[in-house]
Structure 1
């Protein structure tokens, strides 16, 4: 879909935010109704990488609704990419969409699922909307305008000490033995430096929302995708938190790795402990997925 070359300052960003909120709420209603019924499940990259008809239906709803309102904008959607669309972020206004973040939870009826919709302009993340459609919690963030949950302003934790941190992570869908072993090695490393605990809830978008609310101190993951974190990155930053690459540098949205925390000190401390697990970039044409140490 052709882009318009619009600049962030020229876009009606508040209108974009309102449109994203409304379609997220509409999508959430569909997901709630589908959560407890039997689902037709297919697999994508692995036996643990699941997709349902509801994922596909919700993504089509979100894209068609936003395309009608903003016909010059581009889209990156999880299910569209799985069907063969390119995952390329240009300077054009681009919506980055995960129709159901936590599909494995959704398949099993576990009530930890969310709709995630982010917007980037000139490769800069401008706004994010995440809807926890079971608990009906709506997280929103717009660059320079704060982050909110159901209208209440969010503030990330100011904790700097890893020994006082509760940390979230996810296993992801990759089951390649070396990568799995390194994922568990990283958990062991963080426990060995006396982190309070490590938790897995099954939704990276909601993990990051918990960082934004200050309910947990940090989140890290290797192997997630741009649609897992685009919307949440805005929310975390606007809540006063930080997102970095697992090597300690600036976040690269397409790198499939992130550390998020309420403070830079804690994010960097976690990054120093992590043994990297290398995945194919979201914007890469290469097929190989490999793992290597520092």
Structure 2
């Protein structure tokens, strides 16, 4: 299996660079913008093109592999089914709203699960040339250099990443705003890049200490989860329990102690599962 995983990794790394070129090339061009679940849940032709590139070229080499892609899933409106088969989980442009506005915080997020266990995670922002990679048991890297979380345990010194998200459901928005009010006075600062995957990578890099979001999907978190954990951090449920990639809830932190401190403060919201 190790040799196969090496082959999978080499292939996907080539495809990530190719797809990143498409994103970088198209970010400043006129875009065809469509909506999905609501008027702020956007998709462009670049999202669709990048996802198709991964699916077509991986399938040509490994026809038995399965895919969970953001755009394919939204088009079919099917519930996500994660099996034991090798499965690529793809967000072709995480941070589409940023991409539409030409803000350079968008990325490809792709992970490989085998037997429902994450084996490969890659997050690539081609505009800023930020390449985050991880393989299970082999550590996490930024542009080829090893990275580690900050190890921060003091909430008052923690820089926290969080997002409003695309859902405008009133109950969900109330909870998000309440948590913003709860956390802001108790932490060092609050930040948002507009991309769940990049926010998670900031924790892995040691540039932030906590990341929490509700309403995201498995394609937003699958790669970031592995990168954070391989960098020595933790990913748990927002209530502090085990992380479930299909739950649409994630809390990452530089230490288990810090994660539990934050979890005890948060108002909980449980969206429909993927």
Task: Pick the TM interval, shorter chain.
Answer: over 0.9
Q: Which runs of 5+ in 1 are unaligned?
A: 1-8, 283-294
Which of 11, 17, 29 matches 1:25? 17
So what's the TM-score if we normalise by structure 1? 0.91
| Counterpart secondary structure, 1:110 | coil
Q: What CA distance in whole angstroms lies between the structure 1 residues aligned with 2:28 and 2:115?
A: 40
Which of 27, 33, 48 matches 1:41? 33
The structural deviation recorded for 1:10 is 6.3
Which of 210, 217, 223 matches 1:225? 217
Q: What CA distance in whole angstroms lies between the structure 1 residues aligned with 2:221 and 2:245?
A: 8
Residue matched to 1:152: 145
| Counterpart secondary structure, 1:135 | coil
Q: 1:108-123 alignment to 2 at 5 Å? A: 108-123=101-116
| Counterpart secondary structure, 2:119 | strand
Q: 1:188-199 alignment to 2 at 5 Å? A: 188-192=181-185, 194-199=186-191
| Counterpart secondary structure, 2:34 | strand
Q: What CA distance in whole angstroms lies between the structure 1 residues aligned with 2:255 and 2:219?
A: 23
Q: What CA distance in whole angstroms lies between the structure 2 residues aligned with 1:236 and 1:211?
A: 7
The structural deviation recorded for 1:156 is 0.5
C-alpha root-mean-square deviation of aligned residues, in Å?
1.0
* Count of aligned pairs: 273
The structural deviation recorded for 1:138 is 1.1
The structural deviation recorded for 1:37 is 0.9
Q: What CA distance in whole angstroms lies between the structure 2 residues aligned with 1:92 and 1:121?
A: 6
Q: Which deviations, in whole Å up to 9, do the C-alpha atoms of 1:39-81 show, x marking residues without a partner? A: 1111100111000111001100011111112211110000000
Structure 1 runs of 4+ aligned residues shifted over 3 Å read none
Residue matched to 2:93: 100
The structural deviation recorded for 1:86 is 4.3
Q: 1:1-294 alignment to 2 at 5 Å? A: 9=1, 12-84=4-76, 85-192=78-185, 194-282=186-274
Q: Which deviations, in whole Å up to 9, do the C-alpha atoms of 1:111-160 show, x marking residues without a partner? A: 10000110001111111011111011211100001111111001011100
Q: What CA distance in whole angstroms lies between the structure 2 residues aligned with 1:71 and 1:262?
A: 38
So what's the TM-score if we normalise by structure 2? 0.97
Q: Which runs of 5+ in 2 are unaligned?
A: none
| Counterpart secondary structure, 1:65 | helix
Q: What CA distance in whole angstroms lies between the structure 1 residues aligned with 2:172 and 2:241?
A: 22
